[in-house]
Amino acid sequence: MKRWVYWVGIFISLLFLYLAIRGLDLEYVWESIKTIDFWWFIPGILSYFAGVLVRAQRWSILLKGKKRQTALQLLPSICIGYLGNNVFPARAGEFLRAYHLKEKQEIPFATSLASIIVERIFDGLVMVIFILIGLPAFLGQLENGSLTGLLNWILIGGSVLFCIAFVVVLISAIFPQKAKKVFDFIFLHILPRKAHDKYHAVLNRFFDGLDALKSPLQILHVFTLTIIVWLFETGLYWSVQQAFHFDLPFSHLLLLNGALNILSSIPSAPGYIGVFDAPGISILSAMGVASESAAAYILTLHAALWLPITIVGFVFFFKEGLQWSKIKPKTNE
Protein backbone atom coordinates (compact mmCIF):
# COMPACT_ATOMS: atom_id res chain seq x y z
CA MET A 1 0.00 0.00 0.00
CA LYS A 2 1.38 3.37 -0.95
CA ARG A 3 2.56 5.57 1.89
CA TRP A 4 0.18 8.44 1.01
CA VAL A 5 -2.85 6.20 1.63
CA TYR A 6 -1.59 5.53 5.15
CA TRP A 7 -1.12 9.24 5.87
CA VAL A 8 -4.56 10.06 4.47
CA GLY A 9 -6.00 7.55 6.95
CA ILE A 10 -4.06 9.17 9.80
CA PHE A 11 -5.34 12.61 8.79
CA ILE A 12 -8.96 11.40 8.62
CA SER A 13 -8.64 9.78 12.05
CA LEU A 14 -7.20 12.93 13.59
CA LEU A 15 -9.98 15.01 12.04
CA PHE A 16 -12.70 12.71 13.38
CA LEU A 17 -10.97 12.51 16.76
CA TYR A 18 -10.98 16.31 16.96
CA LEU A 19 -14.68 16.33 16.10
CA ALA A 20 -15.27 13.70 18.79
CA ILE A 21 -13.72 15.64 21.69
CA ARG A 22 -14.44 19.19 20.54
CA GLY A 23 -16.36 21.10 23.19
CA LEU A 24 -16.34 18.25 25.71
CA ASP A 25 -15.42 18.57 29.37
CA LEU A 26 -12.69 15.90 29.28
CA GLU A 27 -12.33 15.91 33.06
CA TYR A 28 -15.99 14.95 33.40
CA VAL A 29 -15.54 12.28 30.71
CA TRP A 30 -12.71 10.74 32.74
CA GLU A 31 -14.75 10.92 35.96
CA SER A 32 -17.58 9.07 34.19
CA ILE A 33 -15.18 6.34 33.06
CA LYS A 34 -13.81 5.90 36.60
CA THR A 35 -17.26 5.26 38.07
CA ILE A 36 -18.35 2.44 35.76
CA ASP A 37 -19.10 -1.06 37.05
CA PHE A 38 -16.36 -3.15 35.44
CA TRP A 39 -18.01 -6.46 36.36
CA TRP A 40 -20.38 -5.90 33.43
CA PHE A 41 -17.45 -6.25 31.06
CA ILE A 42 -17.15 -9.98 31.79
CA PRO A 43 -20.41 -11.07 30.09
CA GLY A 44 -19.80 -8.51 27.35
CA ILE A 45 -16.33 -9.80 26.49
CA LEU A 46 -17.58 -13.39 26.63
CA SER A 47 -20.41 -12.49 24.27
CA TYR A 48 -17.95 -10.81 21.91
CA PHE A 49 -15.64 -13.83 21.78
CA ALA A 50 -18.63 -16.13 21.27
CA GLY A 51 -19.27 -14.04 18.16
CA VAL A 52 -15.65 -14.50 17.07
CA LEU A 53 -16.05 -18.27 17.38
CA VAL A 54 -19.26 -18.16 15.32
CA ARG A 55 -17.35 -16.06 12.78
CA ALA A 56 -14.79 -18.87 12.55
CA GLN A 57 -17.61 -21.37 12.03
CA ARG A 58 -18.99 -19.21 9.23
CA TRP A 59 -15.58 -19.10 7.57
CA SER A 60 -15.31 -22.89 7.74
CA ILE A 61 -18.55 -23.08 5.69
CA LEU A 62 -17.26 -20.61 3.11
CA LEU A 63 -14.05 -22.64 2.79
CA LYS A 64 -15.90 -25.97 2.60
CA GLY A 65 -14.42 -28.27 0.00
CA LYS A 66 -10.95 -26.67 0.04
CA LYS A 67 -9.88 -28.57 3.14
CA ARG A 68 -11.74 -29.82 6.16
CA GLN A 69 -11.38 -26.88 8.53
CA THR A 70 -13.06 -26.67 11.93
CA ALA A 71 -13.91 -23.40 13.62
CA LEU A 72 -11.18 -24.00 16.21
CA GLN A 73 -8.59 -24.55 13.48
CA LEU A 74 -9.59 -21.26 11.84
CA LEU A 75 -9.80 -19.29 15.10
CA PRO A 76 -6.09 -18.30 15.14
CA SER A 77 -6.37 -16.85 11.62
CA ILE A 78 -9.49 -14.91 12.60
CA CYS A 79 -7.81 -13.41 15.67
CA ILE A 80 -4.65 -12.59 13.72
CA GLY A 81 -6.88 -10.81 11.21
CA TYR A 82 -8.36 -8.67 13.97
CA LEU A 83 -4.83 -7.88 15.13
CA GLY A 84 -3.89 -6.78 11.62
CA ASN A 85 -6.85 -4.40 11.35
CA ASN A 86 -6.25 -3.01 14.84
CA VAL A 87 -2.52 -2.28 14.78
CA PHE A 88 -1.15 -2.51 11.22
CA PRO A 89 -1.71 0.13 8.54
CA ALA A 90 -4.00 -0.10 5.51
CA ARG A 91 -6.47 -2.58 7.09
CA ALA A 92 -3.91 -5.36 6.69
CA GLY A 93 -5.90 -7.85 8.74
CA GLU A 94 -7.82 -9.41 5.86
CA PHE A 95 -4.61 -10.05 3.92
CA LEU A 96 -2.84 -11.20 7.07
CA ARG A 97 -5.33 -13.93 7.89
CA ALA A 98 -5.46 -15.09 4.27
CA TYR A 99 -1.67 -15.28 4.30
CA HIS A 100 -1.68 -17.18 7.61
CA LEU A 101 -4.20 -19.70 6.27
CA LYS A 102 -2.06 -20.26 3.18
CA GLU A 103 1.05 -20.86 5.28
CA LYS A 104 -0.58 -23.13 7.85
CA GLN A 105 -3.38 -24.84 5.93
CA GLU A 106 -2.10 -24.55 2.33
CA ILE A 107 -5.28 -22.88 1.12
CA PRO A 108 -4.47 -20.50 -1.78
CA PHE A 109 -4.32 -16.84 -0.86
CA ALA A 110 -6.83 -15.70 -3.51
CA THR A 111 -9.31 -18.40 -2.46
CA SER A 112 -9.18 -17.28 1.17
CA LEU A 113 -9.43 -13.64 0.16
CA ALA A 114 -12.55 -14.34 -1.91
CA SER A 115 -14.22 -15.98 1.10
CA ILE A 116 -13.26 -12.96 3.24
CA ILE A 117 -14.82 -10.58 0.71
CA VAL A 118 -18.01 -12.66 0.86
CA GLU A 119 -17.93 -12.37 4.66
CA ARG A 120 -17.67 -8.60 4.46
CA ILE A 121 -20.62 -8.39 2.07
CA PHE A 122 -22.82 -10.45 4.39
CA ASP A 123 -21.63 -8.32 7.33
CA GLY A 124 -22.61 -5.16 5.47
CA LEU A 125 -26.07 -6.48 4.67
CA VAL A 126 -26.71 -7.37 8.32
CA MET A 127 -25.49 -3.92 9.41
CA VAL A 128 -28.05 -2.34 7.07
CA ILE A 129 -30.75 -4.61 8.55
CA PHE A 130 -29.74 -3.55 12.08
CA ILE A 131 -30.07 0.11 11.08
CA LEU A 132 -33.49 -0.58 9.57
CA ILE A 133 -34.63 -2.27 12.80
CA GLY A 134 -33.54 0.61 15.02
CA LEU A 135 -34.20 3.57 12.74
CA PRO A 136 -38.02 4.04 13.06
CA ALA A 137 -38.06 4.40 16.86
CA PHE A 138 -34.87 6.45 16.81
CA LEU A 139 -36.08 8.96 14.22
CA GLY A 140 -39.23 9.44 16.26
CA GLN A 141 -37.22 11.01 19.09
CA LEU A 142 -34.60 12.71 16.91
CA GLU A 143 -34.52 16.47 16.56
CA ASN A 144 -31.04 16.80 15.00
CA GLY A 145 -31.78 17.34 11.31
CA SER A 146 -28.16 17.00 10.18
CA LEU A 147 -27.83 13.67 11.93
CA THR A 148 -31.06 12.50 10.31
CA GLY A 149 -29.49 13.27 6.94
CA LEU A 150 -26.33 11.40 7.93
CA LEU A 151 -28.25 8.30 8.96
CA ASN A 152 -30.32 8.41 5.80
CA TRP A 153 -27.09 8.61 3.79
CA ILE A 154 -25.63 5.64 5.68
CA LEU A 155 -28.78 3.61 5.12
CA ILE A 156 -29.25 4.45 1.44
CA GLY A 157 -25.56 4.42 0.51
CA GLY A 158 -24.80 1.30 2.51
CA SER A 159 -27.87 -0.53 1.24
CA VAL A 160 -27.09 0.21 -2.39
CA LEU A 161 -23.40 -0.63 -2.04
CA PHE A 162 -23.81 -3.94 -0.24
CA CYS A 163 -26.85 -5.06 -2.24
CA ILE A 164 -24.97 -4.50 -5.50
CA ALA A 165 -21.93 -6.33 -4.13
CA PHE A 166 -24.12 -9.20 -2.90
CA VAL A 167 -25.85 -9.57 -6.27
CA VAL A 168 -22.53 -9.48 -8.15
CA VAL A 169 -20.97 -12.11 -5.90
CA LEU A 170 -24.08 -14.30 -5.97
CA ILE A 171 -24.33 -14.20 -9.78
CA SER A 172 -20.59 -14.93 -10.03
CA ALA A 173 -20.99 -17.98 -7.79
CA ILE A 174 -24.05 -19.35 -9.62
CA PHE A 175 -22.83 -18.60 -13.15
CA PRO A 176 -19.03 -18.73 -12.85
CA GLN A 177 -18.27 -19.22 -16.55
CA LYS A 178 -20.39 -16.27 -17.66
CA ALA A 179 -19.01 -14.14 -14.84
CA LYS A 180 -15.45 -15.01 -15.86
CA LYS A 181 -16.19 -13.83 -19.39
CA VAL A 182 -17.36 -10.49 -18.02
CA PHE A 183 -14.25 -10.16 -15.85
CA ASP A 184 -12.08 -11.09 -18.84
CA PHE A 185 -13.77 -8.45 -20.98
CA ILE A 186 -13.02 -5.82 -18.33
CA PHE A 187 -9.55 -6.74 -17.10
CA LEU A 188 -7.89 -8.17 -20.19
CA HIS A 189 -8.36 -4.77 -21.82
CA ILE A 190 -6.80 -3.01 -18.82
CA LEU A 191 -3.92 -5.28 -17.83
CA PRO A 192 -0.74 -5.58 -19.90
CA ARG A 193 -0.41 -8.82 -21.87
CA LYS A 194 2.44 -10.11 -19.70
CA ALA A 195 0.10 -10.05 -16.69
CA HIS A 196 -2.67 -12.12 -18.31
CA ASP A 197 -1.43 -15.51 -17.08
CA LYS A 198 -1.18 -14.27 -13.51
CA TYR A 199 -4.62 -12.67 -13.81
CA HIS A 200 -6.21 -15.98 -14.89
CA ALA A 201 -4.50 -17.84 -12.04
CA VAL A 202 -5.81 -15.32 -9.50
CA LEU A 203 -9.30 -15.32 -11.05
CA ASN A 204 -9.59 -19.11 -10.90
CA ARG A 205 -8.49 -19.16 -7.26
CA PHE A 206 -10.94 -16.36 -6.50
CA PHE A 207 -13.87 -18.27 -7.97
CA ASP A 208 -12.86 -21.30 -5.91
CA GLY A 209 -13.61 -19.14 -2.88
CA LEU A 210 -17.18 -18.56 -4.06
CA ASP A 211 -18.11 -22.25 -4.30
CA ALA A 212 -20.02 -22.24 -1.00
CA LEU A 213 -22.59 -19.79 -2.40
CA LYS A 214 -23.82 -22.15 -5.10
CA SER A 215 -26.31 -23.70 -2.68
CA PRO A 216 -29.33 -21.68 -1.39
CA LEU A 217 -29.11 -23.58 1.89
CA GLN A 218 -25.47 -22.59 2.27
CA ILE A 219 -26.36 -18.95 1.60
CA LEU A 220 -29.09 -19.11 4.26
CA HIS A 221 -26.70 -20.81 6.68
CA VAL A 222 -24.02 -18.13 6.18
CA PHE A 223 -26.59 -15.34 6.50
CA THR A 224 -28.00 -16.82 9.73
CA LEU A 225 -24.54 -17.16 11.25
CA THR A 226 -23.76 -13.57 10.26
CA ILE A 227 -26.80 -12.34 12.19
CA ILE A 228 -25.68 -14.38 15.22
CA VAL A 229 -22.14 -12.95 14.99
CA TRP A 230 -23.39 -9.38 15.17
CA LEU A 231 -26.00 -10.08 17.84
CA PHE A 232 -23.20 -11.41 20.05
CA GLU A 233 -21.15 -8.28 19.36
CA THR A 234 -24.16 -6.09 20.20
CA GLY A 235 -24.19 -7.99 23.49
CA LEU A 236 -20.94 -6.18 24.33
CA TYR A 237 -22.60 -2.84 23.51
CA TRP A 238 -25.39 -3.80 25.92
CA SER A 239 -23.00 -4.87 28.69
CA VAL A 240 -21.01 -1.64 28.49
CA GLN A 241 -24.32 0.22 28.63
CA GLN A 242 -25.15 -1.60 31.87
CA ALA A 243 -21.74 -0.64 33.26
CA PHE A 244 -22.65 3.02 32.63
CA HIS A 245 -26.23 2.53 33.88
CA PHE A 246 -27.83 3.63 30.61
CA ASP A 247 -31.23 2.32 29.61
CA LEU A 248 -31.34 2.47 25.81
CA PRO A 249 -33.56 0.00 23.92
CA PHE A 250 -31.71 -2.92 22.34
CA SER A 251 -32.96 -1.75 18.92
CA HIS A 252 -31.04 1.51 19.46
CA LEU A 253 -27.89 -0.49 20.16
CA LEU A 254 -28.43 -2.48 16.96
CA LEU A 255 -28.67 0.80 15.05
CA LEU A 256 -25.53 2.12 16.78
CA ASN A 257 -23.62 -1.07 15.95
CA GLY A 258 -24.76 -1.03 12.32
CA ALA A 259 -24.01 2.64 11.73
CA LEU A 260 -20.58 2.56 13.40
CA ASN A 261 -19.44 -0.53 11.52
CA ILE A 262 -20.46 0.93 8.18
CA LEU A 263 -18.75 4.22 9.03
CA SER A 264 -15.64 2.33 10.14
CA SER A 265 -15.10 1.37 6.51
CA ILE A 266 -13.91 4.97 5.96
CA PRO A 267 -10.09 5.01 5.53
CA SER A 268 -8.52 5.70 8.90
CA ALA A 269 -5.63 4.92 11.20
CA PRO A 270 -5.35 1.36 12.56
CA GLY A 271 -8.10 0.49 15.03
CA TYR A 272 -10.68 2.78 13.36
CA ILE A 273 -9.61 5.68 15.58
CA GLY A 274 -11.88 8.68 15.24
CA VAL A 275 -14.22 7.28 12.57
CA PHE A 276 -15.74 5.05 15.26
CA ASP A 277 -15.75 7.62 18.07
CA ALA A 278 -17.09 10.87 16.61
CA PRO A 279 -20.21 9.35 14.96
CA GLY A 280 -20.83 7.20 18.03
CA ILE A 281 -20.85 10.21 20.33
CA SER A 282 -23.15 12.13 17.96
CA ILE A 283 -25.62 9.25 17.66
CA LEU A 284 -25.71 8.62 21.42
CA SER A 285 -26.16 12.33 22.08
CA ALA A 286 -29.10 12.31 19.69
CA MET A 287 -30.54 9.40 21.69
CA GLY A 288 -30.67 11.68 24.74
CA VAL A 289 -27.39 10.73 26.42
CA ALA A 290 -25.36 13.67 27.75
CA SER A 291 -22.36 14.42 25.51
CA GLU A 292 -19.72 13.68 28.15
CA SER A 293 -21.45 10.44 29.16
CA ALA A 294 -21.79 9.50 25.49
CA ALA A 295 -18.05 10.13 24.97
CA ALA A 296 -17.15 8.07 28.03
CA TYR A 297 -19.32 5.20 26.80
CA ILE A 298 -18.02 5.25 23.21
CA LEU A 299 -14.34 5.50 24.23
CA THR A 300 -14.77 2.66 26.74
CA LEU A 301 -16.69 0.55 24.22
CA HIS A 302 -13.99 1.16 21.61
CA ALA A 303 -11.34 -0.01 24.08
CA ALA A 304 -13.39 -3.11 24.93
CA LEU A 305 -13.78 -3.94 21.23
CA TRP A 306 -10.08 -3.31 20.54
CA LEU A 307 -7.98 -4.49 23.48
CA PRO A 308 -9.01 -8.11 24.28
CA ILE A 309 -9.07 -9.36 20.68
CA THR A 310 -5.81 -7.54 19.93
CA ILE A 311 -4.10 -9.27 22.86
CA VAL A 312 -5.40 -12.66 21.72
CA GLY A 313 -4.32 -11.85 18.17
CA PHE A 314 -0.79 -11.01 19.35
CA VAL A 315 -0.63 -14.31 21.25
CA PHE A 316 -1.56 -16.28 18.12
CA PHE A 317 0.70 -14.12 15.93
CA PHE A 318 3.81 -14.97 17.95
CA LYS A 319 2.71 -18.53 18.73
CA GLU A 320 2.37 -19.20 14.99
CA GLY A 321 5.85 -17.77 14.39
CA LEU A 322 4.73 -14.98 12.06
CA GLN A 323 6.93 -11.99 11.27
CA TRP A 324 5.44 -8.92 9.64
CA SER A 325 8.61 -8.18 7.65
CA LYS A 326 8.45 -11.61 5.98
CA ILE A 327 4.79 -11.50 4.97
CA LYS A 328 4.65 -11.19 1.21
CA PRO A 329 1.44 -12.79 -0.01
CA LYS A 330 1.41 -14.18 -3.55
CA THR A 331 -2.14 -14.01 -4.83
CA ASN A 332 -1.50 -16.40 -7.71
CA GLU A 333 -0.79 -19.29 -5.33
Q: Tally the residues of the chain.
A: 333
Contacts with 18 (C-beta within 8 Å, 6 or more apart), sequence order: 274
DSSP one-letter code for 66: T
DSSP one-letter code for 269: S
- Supply φ then ψ for residue 108, to 5 degrees: -50, 145
The pLDDT value recorded for residue 331 is 45
The pLDDT value recorded for residue 252 is 93
DSSP one-letter code for 89: S
The pLDDT value recorded for residue 145 is 54
The residue among 168, 162, 167 whose CA lies nearest residue 262 is 162
- Supply φ then ψ for residue 289, to 5 degrees: -85, 135
The pLDDT value recorded for residue 138 is 77
| HSE-CB of 295 using CA atoms within 13 angstroms | 20
The pLDDT value recorded for residue 270 is 87
- The tens place of each residue's pLDDT in the chain, 333 residues long, gives 457 767 788 888 888 888 888 888 889 899 989 889 999 999 999 999 999 999 999 999 988 766 668 889 999 999 999 999 998 876 788 888 888 888 888 888 888 888 888 898 899 889 989 988 988 877 766 655 556 566 667 667 777 887 888 888 888 888 888 888 888 888 887 888 888 787 777 787 778 777 778 788 888 999 999 999 999 999 999 999 999 988 899 999 999 999 999 888 888 888 899 889 998 998 898 888 899 999 999 999 999 999 999 999 999 998 888 776 666 555 445
Domain coordinates in residue numbering, the chain:
3-326
* 3-class DSSP string for 143-205: CCHHHHHHHHHHHHHHHHHHHHHHHHHHHHHHCHHHHHHHHHHHHCCCCCHHHHHHHHHHHHH
Dihedral angle, C-alpha 167, 173, 177, 182, nearest 10 °:
30
